[in-house]
Structure 1
Amino acid sequence: MASFKPTKVQTYPKLGEKVTEDTLYWKNYKAPVQIKEFGAVTRIEFSPLPPHNYVVTASTRLQVYGPHSQEPVRSFARFRDTAYGGSFRGDGKLLVAGSEEGLVRLFDVDGRVALRQFSGHTKAVHVTSFTSDGYRVVSGSDDLTCRVWDVASSTELGSYTEHTDYVRATATSKLNPDLFISGSYDHTVKVFDVRLGGCVLTLQHGHPVESVLLYPSEALLVSTGGRYVKVWDLLKGGQHLVSLKNHHKTVTCACLSTTDNRLLTGALDRHVKVYNSSYKVVHSFDYATSILSLAVAPDDEVVAVGMTNGVLSVRHRKHSEDKQEMVGRRRRGPAYRVFVKGKNYVPKQDDFLVSKTTKQHLQKYDKQLRSFQVSKALDTALQTWKRFSKPDVTIAVMMELNRRGTLRNALAGRDEQNLTTLLHFLLKHVTDSRFSGLLLMVADMVIELYHQVIPQSPIVERLLQRLMELLGREAELQQELLQVLGVLDTLFASLTPRREVTGPTATPIMQKS
């Protein structure tokens, strides 16, 4: 009796995104390291100077981490209530943060006690940042105001009340210490000039603004809020350039990478999107819960993400020395000669050869095919994980059933649940060019078998109707494509130059008399 041959699963080309340099660059990160904080991580910012430590604002603490440390190297817990907006000064030596109490505190990175305390806001201060000269601090509050403070004297230099709702985003100019930008829940982004004492430009974002970001050249401004990321040209008076809608929930944060100034955005939909210079998504990071904060190290070595569940996720870039170290750590296995020992031995004439039968390991659907249980084999191939992650296995089983001539028997006699599973698979893959040759035939069999058999099941009726409509559209499309091919063939035939026949056998062309 001949041995049973397992079902051969063909390898199909993968349909997916085009692999580009951006894709390879952003995939070159290790698995994330997760650090549990005391509350939701509302802000992350890297120090501009090496070794690029980063400050994490969560609950009532500011915690400073090293680029490769999983424990904080410095912690500031002098807040009675929730802390917000921890930010470094340009030299990396001072920290500023707001709080739910309405106070703004200034810290020395190497100390623990607050050096300055600015009081004047009447409600929570959610955003703070230093101006480029390092001598002033800008803060935005739920009392609808933005204020500028003098670091040396702890006095208020100006208060701006142009917003009509909570101020939840600020950004300061690195080129001009007198300019700063604020974003508010009143759907506007405003550019302020301290020298003029007020707002000089207003942009309508259209949704509550969660964050604002300036490009290094400061010609472009990014605002996020709602599901939208909008880019503005400040050199043309705030002209709206691009509106991106790649997230399906509120976009909460944005930052820039050092390499080619790639834009990264994080949202409540648990995704971080990376955009190229044409504002097309080139990569995406997925996380467990909603994202509140995002930062990339100045050298792109670390990507840090803060989430609503208090988890800080940190990814480090891979390097060639890391790969060599991993190879060096692997346990040395048996030598190659151990595995090939005796493989090439040729028995002599008087030797008695004892053959050893090798056990054949079959998949579950192969065992059922061997037992001629064709319906059960198809059910096994239509299991959830197979039909979603490995549809080529399901296709291979259908091809084997068709080769045996038992495909119609396997499709017939199905109950409502099994038929629904089969119809969902057909609706998803029948138009896939890799599988359509077989699945179109399967779809015709299913419609012929069940179109008039189960009128009492509304679910099956609806799925069958969708399948018939899909097949109708596919037939119309193929007919149109055939017509186009016919037209192209005619054009190509008319454009092909005819060869002139020369020699004694050539027929002379008659001239007009």
Structure 2
Amino acid sequence: MASFKPTKVQVIPKLGEKVTEDTLYWKNYKFPVQIKEFGAVKKIDFSPLAPHNYAVTASTKVHIYGPHSQEPIQSFTRFRDTAYGGTFRGDGKLLVAGSEEGLIRLFDVSGRVALRQFRGHTKAVHVTSFLSDGLRVVSGSDDLSCRVWDVPSGAELCSFTEHTDYIRALAPSKLNPDLFVTGSYDHTVKVFDMRSGSSTMTMQHGHPVECVLLYPSEALLVSTGGRYVKIWDLLKGGQEIVSLKNHHKTVTCACLSSVGNKLLTGSLDRHIKVYNSAYKVVYDFNFDAAILSMAIAPDDEVIAVGMTNGVLSVRHRRHKKVKESTVPTRRRRLPAYRVFVKGKNFVPRQDDFLVSKPVKEYLCKYDSQLKSFEVSKALDTALEMWSRTKKPEVTVAVIIEINRRGTLKNALAGRTESSLTRILKFVLKYIFDPRFSRPLLMVGDIILDLYQDVIPQSPSVERLLQLLMEALGVEKDLHQELLQVLGILDTLFASLTPRKEVAALAAPPVDQGAQLQAA
């Protein structure tokens, strides 16, 4: 009698997104650590110097956190009203922040008291930053002006009033201390030069601008506002290169990674999109609330995200730990010599016959049931939750094996309401999957033959049977259309065949020897 052969499950390729190096890189961040702030997190900025502490502006405070600390290592609470735009200087020693009351405060990171207070704005100051020389501060306010301040003296150097609405975005140049870019709710992005005293370039974004960002080369400029992310070429007079629309709500923030200058954008739709150099989305982070601010550490080790519900989400990059074992590993103890009949130094001869111990095969539960000819129970086992959700190919392999035995109709007959519902849901889920459509179409036909004339007691089963009939009808129409397309293609290929080639193929072979004799 032949031995039982287990069910052969075919290895079927998974359908889904293509896994790339970018996907693996951004997927390598740990589960986020969440820190609760007192209000919506409006600004996050990393210190440019190691260990890359980051400043978080929320409510009336600016907290400074360490890369791995969950409690602030420094706090600035000298604000009477809401604080905005806490930003580090290039050396990481000073920090500047605006406020709802219109004051701009300059802090020493190692102290608590404000070193300077810049007065001049009449409304809230939402964006502040240092120019690249570190001796001047630029600010943008709701009074429609952006001003430049001298750090040593605290005096106002110049003021620009070209915007006609609130200024909510600011990006200073790191290569030229006299240039900075602003974005406003008047839908424009302007490049200002302090030497000329006015803007030198204006771009129309088309929506209220929430964030502006310069690439390291400063040849490209990023502006976000509405659902759009737009890239501008500053070397060509602010010409628009590409307009991205991958978010479903307003894009509030953007930043660049140090590895490959990948662009990251955050939105009120609770998603962060990562773009490659071709501006295609290569990864997507999902969060629990709308995103207001985002920043990535200069070494890409930490990603910090601020949300409207006051939660600060921090993700750390995971590193592979190399285990260096200093203790020598103990060798596995071999069996005692007495278990060998011939002793330690026995060498088998050439004529000896080695009797190998048979390896016991353990069958899966559905294979054991198939071995006992319990096909209905085997199908129920293959339809368990883990199998039909994570490994549908196992369920389909069992269906194919039962059909090969000629007992598929018996396995599907006599079903209870719950078991029939489970089978119908599985068939409806995967019937249009090209990997499983052929066997599941056969299962659907058998189920309709068995249960179409039986009046079901449950309206849910009746609804599933109706959906199955519609699915089979759609599949039938698709097959008919494909057959028509194949017929058209056959006609085209036949008409494209050259007539000379057909005649040459149909003509009998010519005897070259006879032609030479005739000549």
Could you say which residue in structure 1 is the equivalent of 2:30? 31
Structure 2 counterpart SS, 1:202: strand
CA–CA distance in 2 between the matches of 1:124 and 1:37? Answer: 25
Q: Residue type matched to 1:439 in 2?
A: L
Decide whether the 8 Å contact of 1:423 with 1:464 is kept in 2: no
From 321, 324, 333, the counterpart of 1:323: 321
CA–CA distance in 2 between the matches of 1:145 and 1:410? Answer: 78
Structure 2 counterpart SS, 1:247: coil
Matches within 5 A, 1:274-353: 274-309=274-309, 310-318=311-319, 322-325=320-323, 336-337=332-333
Closer, same or farther: CA 65–462 of 1 in aligned 2, 3 Å: same
CA–CA distance in 2 between the matches of 1:507 and 1:427? Answer: 70
Could you say which residue in structure 2 is the equivalent of 1:465? 470
Could you say which residue in structure 2 is the equivalent of 1:192? 192
Decide whether the 8 Å contact of 2:289 with 2:307 is kept in 1: yes
CA–CA distance in 1 between the matches of 2:489 and 2:449? Answer: 31
Q: Residue type matched to 2:312 in 1?
A: V
Decide whether the 8 Å contact of 1:386 with 1:393 is kept in 2: yes
Aligned-pair CA distance for 1:83? 2.3
Aligned-pair CA distance for 1:463? 5.9
Decide whether the 8 Å contact of 1:99 with 1:125 is kept in 2: yes
Matches within 5 A, 1:284-433: 284-309=284-309, 310-318=311-319, 322-325=320-323, 336-337=332-333, 363=365, 378=379, 381-382=382-383, 386-411=387-412, 425-426=426-427, 428-433=429-434
Aligned-pair CA distance for 1:313? 1.4
Matched-pair identity in %: 62
Decide whether the 8 Å contact of 1:82 with 1:100 is kept in 2: yes
Decide whether the 8 Å contact of 2:124 with 2:143 is kept in 1: yes
Closer, same or farther: CA 226–323 of 1 in aligned 2, 3 Å: same
- Structure 1 gaps of 5+ residues are 349-354
Matches within 5 A, 1:20-419: 20-27=20-27, 29-39=28-38, 40-309=40-309, 310-318=311-319, 322-325=320-323, 336-337=332-333, 363=365, 378=379, 381-382=382-383, 386-411=387-412
Aligned-pair CA distance for 1:460? 5.2
Decide whether the 8 Å contact of 1:431 with 1:474 is kept in 2: no
Decide whether the 8 Å contact of 2:6 with 2:363 is kept in 1: no
Decide whether the 8 Å contact of 2:304 with 2:312 is kept in 1: no
Closer, same or farther: CA 345–153 of 1 in aligned 2, 3 Å: same
Closer, same or farther: CA 190–486 of 1 in aligned 2, 3 Å: same
Aligned-pair CA distance for 1:412? 5.7
Aligned-pair CA distance for 1:248? 3.0
Q: Residue type matched to 1:232 in 2?
A: W
Closer, same or farther: CA 463–435 of 1 in aligned 2, 3 Å: closer
Decide whether the 8 Å contact of 1:420 with 1:463 is kept in 2: no
Structure 1 counterpart SS, 2:175: coil
Deviates more, 1:276-285 or 1:413-422: 413-422
Could you say which residue in structure 1 is the equivalent of 2:345? none
CA–CA distance in 2 between the matches of 1:347 and 1:492? Answer: 78
Could you say which residue in structure 2 is the equivalent of 1:11? 11
Decide whether the 8 Å contact of 2:302 with 2:314 is kept in 1: no
Aligned-pair CA distance for 1:477? 3.7
Decide whether the 8 Å contact of 2:444 with 2:468 is kept in 1: no
From 476, 484, 487, the counterpart of 2:481: 476
Closer, same or farther: CA 393–235 of 1 in aligned 2, 3 Å: same
Decide whether the 8 Å contact of 1:302 with 1:317 is kept in 2: no
Q: Deviations over 1:329-379 (max 9, x none)?
A: 9x99996558xx69x97899xxxxxx9x9896855x668767877667656
CA–CA distance in 2 between the matches of 1:492 and 1:298? Answer: 63
Decide whether the 8 Å contact of 1:105 with 1:118 is kept in 2: yes
Q: Residue type matched to 2:433 in 1?
A: D
Decide whether the 8 Å contact of 2:29 with 2:315 is kept in 1: no
CA–CA distance in 1 between the matches of 2:387 and 2:31? Answer: 28
Aligned-pair CA distance for 1:161? 3.9
Q: Residue type matched to 1:473 in 2?
A: L
Structure 1 counterpart SS, 2:10: coil
Decide whether the 8 Å contact of 1:264 with 1:272 is kept in 2: yes
Aligned-pair CA distance for 1:279? 0.9
CA–CA distance in 1 between the matches of 2:121 and 2:406? Answer: 80
Decide whether the 8 Å contact of 1:419 with 1:460 is kept in 2: no
Aligned-pair CA distance for 1:47? 1.8
- Structure 2 gaps of 5+ residues are 343-356
Deviates more, 1:411-420 or 1:42-51: 411-420
Could you say which residue in structure 2 is the equivalent of 1:352? none
Q: Deviations over 1:471-501 (max 9, x none)?
A: 42355246536765886799899999x99xx
CA–CA distance in 2 between the matches of 1:291 and 1:227? Answer: 13
CA–CA distance in 2 between the matches of 1:62 and 1:495? Answer: 83
Aligned-pair CA distance for 1:504? 12
Decide whether the 8 Å contact of 2:230 with 2:242 is kept in 1: yes
Decide whether the 8 Å contact of 1:7 with 1:396 is kept in 2: yes
Matches within 5 A, 1:494-505: none
Decide whether the 8 Å contact of 2:233 with 2:241 is kept in 1: yes
Q: Deviations over 1:167-213 (max 9, x none)?
A: 32211122222322222334332333334444443323233322111
Asked which structure has the greater CA Rg, the reply is 2
Decide whether the 8 Å contact of 1:53 with 1:64 is kept in 2: yes
Q: Residue type matched to 1:34 in 2?
A: V
Closer, same or farther: CA 315–166 of 1 in aligned 2, 3 Å: same
Deviates more, 1:89-98 or 1:434-443: 434-443
CA–CA distance in 1 between the matches of 2:123 and 2:361? Answer: 75
Closer, same or farther: CA 433–137 of 1 in aligned 2, 3 Å: same
CA–CA distance in 2 between the matches of 1:474 and 1:345? Answer: 67
Q: Residue type matched to 1:441 in 2?
A: M
CA–CA distance in 1 between the matches of 2:303 and 2:286? Answer: 13
How much is the aligned-residue C-alpha RMSD, in angstroms? Answer: 4.5
Aligned-pair CA distance for 1:508? 5.2
CA–CA distance in 2 between the matches of 1:316 and 1:191? Answer: 35
Tell me the TM-score normalised to structure 1 length. Answer: 0.79
Closer, same or farther: CA 385–96 of 1 in aligned 2, 3 Å: farther
